[in-house]
């Protein structure tokens, strides 16, 4: 273990300590207080006490030598009562800043993403408010600037509050960059650290408290690249063997998979494999893969996982490189060694595996389909430009059915990711000319750093929308550090996604909303939105939602646009933002407003909300929209909520005009946000 890490190691990186000295008795504490200058703080110094306040080990705002003496005695009494077992080195006497801000800067070596840095609201309320932002190390100036901007606390920090002066953003960025450089250079030997609080006043900073945890073994980073060899064959396979269908029972998963392949749109050859059947569902069956006389491009497996090693041997003999394992029974059922054995054999034989424990793949162009959800109960979308990857087949099945108007290119449910993982698929989708939008649902990562490095590159070329579930705190980190606790929430993943340029959403519904918008509309040049409605109540809700995430802002129409609207719209129209056409609004009123917004340089996104229950909006609005919004200069998203007629009109608009329609205010705003994020 390296001995270079000390309590003041940060001073080597240009960070400044608060003046502090160790006192061993009350008299020495009084003398040191006078030397430093009042006010001062006294803090217990013990290797056994991480959270000093919890033991009564901190006294603040001491203005005299007598107060310092009394504080020393009070701290000693309190700590010995609450922690009689603790080894006490003494009590630190430390300078105090008044009228200042307190932040926390933390570092953690994360098992998924490697070295990470955290910045946020500090002091004793760091965990209570949880207003923190994470990034993967190393960080650039741009990364640090975005961290500061994302913090909810940043407006107060940079503008000041009452008697507390504003903080210099340049100084703050410099402090975070220096802490980040220190953490990145020491990550091999360091598991975590907290600088909390770091006090800020104007263009000055002081590190008041620093705690660190050395690593018990060397931390290391891998530089694994995405591996896309043979992935295209999963989607363009000309022949598919299905292992697991039965000639005696149609209630096997393999039979449902066979049904999807032989009775619908897939045009390739299909070979059922079963040693006990000569014909299955009217198709000739073969005892084993080895008995199939023709070339096989893809094997779909639904028999127990214990039978997969033998299948791999047969694939090696027939030069087959692609397997989808639908079957469960892997690590989720405790069979970790079996999964590892399958993984090792696949790598040895140059075989790519999707699964296990998944629903497999779908290609909307070749119509190759490995789902055991038959077409009678789960529809398949038309060909389009959205490609999805999902750790959960359940989530994927719902997504597929909701993408019909937007259309899909490719879909992968990868389950336990024995081989093919998220980074491999990201790179493959990036290179796929039919994929315009990438949607990701994930519950956790095996190779987070690989995903992060790949996502940073892919997001520059194509939008990637991601929804991660499993956001609760990791209880194992609770007693280690503030940074450990706060990284156990979704904070760390969200920060990494933002750093990689991904569009991070908070629900399945938002994943669908954002993906649909990006597939059906062009991306916006900015974040200024104009709302047009015949009922303003929903727009008020939308503005509340916009304020929460601070991605969008309401546009300001030019004076020229306002004059034109005043001239062309009826007197009942309220020309602000939103443009409220009231319940009297007509198709023509909407058309005038849309065309004006298209030409206004201060508008980037047009958000329409229809109350189809208002009779003046005609049944021909879908056709009128398709005419006035053909080849739009700016993206449009529509909201409308209601019953059967509203759903009918919404479907007509999506089909005729190619504009996405949403039934909830949250999804409507999410769609606009996705179009604005670059």
Q: Please spell the DSSP secondary structure of 66-104, one letter per residue.
A: HHHHHHHHHHHHHHHHH-TT----EEEEEE--SS-EEEE
**What is the chain's percent helix, strand, coil content, to nearest 5?**
40, 20, 40
What pLDDT is stored for residue 538 in this prediction? Answer: 93
> Nearest-CA neighbor of 564 among 596, 532, 534, 587?
596
What pLDDT is stored for residue 484 in this prediction? Answer: 52
Q: What pairing do the DSSP bridges indicate for beta strands 503-505 and 437-442?
A: unpaired
pLDDT tens, residue by residue, 133-144 = 999 999 999 999
What pLDDT is stored for residue 488 in this prediction? Answer: 54
What pLDDT is stored for residue 326 in this prediction? Answer: 96
What pLDDT is stored for residue 476 in this prediction? Answer: 36
Token pair 């500090």: residue: 122
**DSSP secondary structure letter of residue 162:** T
Rounded alpha-carbon distances, angstroms, from residue 136 to 165, 184, 445, 449: 30, 10, 15, 9
What pLDDT is stored for residue 475 in this prediction? Answer: 36
What pLDDT is stored for residue 301 in this prediction? Answer: 97
Give burial (CB, 10 Å; 0-12/13-18/19+) of 502.
buried
| Cβ count within 10 A of residue 300 | 32
Residue 18 tokens, joined: 């608060």
Cβ density class 339-361: b for 16+ within 10 Å, e for less = beebeebbeeeebbbbbbbbbbb
C-alpha to C-alpha distance for 130 and 350, rounded to whole angstroms: 46
* Termini Cα distance of the chain: 43
What pLDDT is stored for residue 486 in this prediction? Answer: 53
Instruction: List, in order, residues 6 or more apart from 235 with CB less than 8 Å away.
Output: 361, 363, 366, 368, 410
Please identify every stretch of the chain with a pLDDT value under 70, giving residue numbers as ranges: 1-6, 124-125, 128, 472-489
List the Cα angle 263/265/268 in 5-degree steps.
Answer: 90
C-alpha to C-alpha distance for 425 and 420, rounded to whole angstroms: 7
């Amino acid at each position: 273990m390296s001995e270079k890490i000390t309590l003041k190691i940060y001073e080597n990186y240009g960070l400044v300590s608060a003046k502090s000295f160790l006192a061993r008795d009350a008299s020495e504490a009084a003398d040191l207080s006078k030397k430093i200058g009042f006010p001062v703080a006294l803090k217990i110094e013990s290797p056994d006490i991480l959270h000093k306040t919890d033991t009564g080990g901190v006294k603040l705002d001491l203005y005299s030598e007598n107060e310092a003496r009394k504080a020393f005695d009070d701290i000693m009494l309190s700590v010995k009562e609450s922690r009689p077992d603790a080894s006490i080195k003494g009590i630190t006497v430390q300078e105090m800043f008044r009228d200042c801000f307190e932040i926390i800067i933390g570092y953690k070596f994360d098992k998924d993403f490697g070295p990470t840095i955290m910045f946020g609201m500090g002091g004793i309320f760091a965990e209570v408010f949880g207003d923190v932002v994470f990034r993967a190390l190393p960080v650039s100036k741009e990364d640090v600037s975005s961290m500061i901007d994302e913090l909810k606390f940043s407006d107060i920090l940079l503008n000041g509050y009452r008697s507390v002066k504003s903080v210099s953003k340049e100084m703050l960025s410099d402090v975070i960059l220096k802490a980040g450089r220190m953490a990145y250079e020491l990550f091999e030997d360091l598991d975590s650290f907290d600088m909390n609080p770091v006090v800020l006043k104007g263009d000055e900073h002081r590190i008041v408290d620093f705690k660190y945890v050395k690593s018990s073994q060397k931390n290391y980073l891998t530089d694994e690249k995405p591996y896309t060899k043979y992935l295209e064959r999963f989607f363009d396979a000309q022949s598919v063997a299905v292992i697991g269908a039965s000639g005696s029972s149609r209630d096997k998963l393999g039979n449902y998979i066979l049904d999807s392949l032989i009775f619908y749109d897939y045009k390739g050859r299909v070979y059922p494999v079963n040693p006990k059947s000569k014909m299955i569902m009217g198709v000739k069956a073969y005892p084993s893969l080895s008995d199939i006389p023709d070339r096989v491009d893809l094997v779909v497996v639904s028999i127990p996982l214990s039978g997969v090693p033998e299948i791999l041997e047969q694939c090696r003999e027939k030069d087959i490189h692609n397997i989808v394992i639908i079957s469960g029974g892997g690590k989720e059922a405790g069979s970790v060694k079996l999964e590892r054995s399958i993984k090792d054999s696949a790598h040895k034989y140059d075989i790519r595996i999707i699964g296990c424990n998944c629903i497999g793949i779908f290609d909307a162009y070749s119509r190759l389909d490995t789902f055991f959800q038959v077409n009678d109960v789960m529809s398949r979308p038309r060909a389009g430009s959205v490609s999805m990857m999902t750790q959960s087949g359940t989530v994927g099945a719902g997504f597929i059915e909701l993408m019909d108007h937007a259309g899909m290119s490719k879909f992968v449910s990868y389950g336990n990711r024995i081989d093919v993982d998220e980074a491999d698929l990201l790179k493959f989708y990036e290179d796929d000319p039919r994929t315009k939008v990438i949607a990701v649902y994930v519950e956790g990562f095996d190779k987070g750093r690989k995903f992060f490095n790949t996502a940073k590159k892919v997001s520059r070329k194509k939008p990637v929308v991601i929804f991660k579930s499993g956001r609760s705190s990791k209880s194992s980190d609770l007693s280690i550090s503030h940074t450990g606790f706060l990284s156990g929430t979704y904070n760390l993943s969200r920060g990494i996604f933002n750093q990689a340029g991904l569009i991070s959403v908070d629900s399945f519904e938002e994943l669908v909303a954002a993906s649909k918008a990006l597939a059906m509309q062009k991306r916006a040049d900015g974040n200024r939105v104009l709302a047009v409605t015949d009922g303003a109540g929903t727009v008020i809700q939308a503005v509340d939602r916009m304020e929460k995430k601070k991605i969008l802002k309401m546009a300001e129409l030019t004076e020229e646009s306002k004059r034109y609207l005043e001239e062309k719209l009826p007197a009942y129209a309220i020309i602000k933002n939103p443009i409220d056409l009231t319940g009297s609004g007509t198709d023509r009123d909407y058309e005038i407003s849309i065309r004006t917004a298209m030409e206004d340089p201060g508008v980037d996104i047009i958000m329409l909300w229809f109350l189809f229950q208002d009779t003046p909006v005609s049944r021909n609005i879908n056709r009128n929209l398709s005419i006035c919004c053909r080849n739009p200069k700016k993206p449009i998203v529509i909201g409308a909520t209601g019953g059967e007629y509203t759903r009918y009109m919404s479907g007509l608009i999506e089909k005729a005009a190619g504009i996405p329609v949403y039934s909830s205010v949250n999804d409507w705003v999410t769609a606009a946000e996705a179009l604005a994020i670059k």
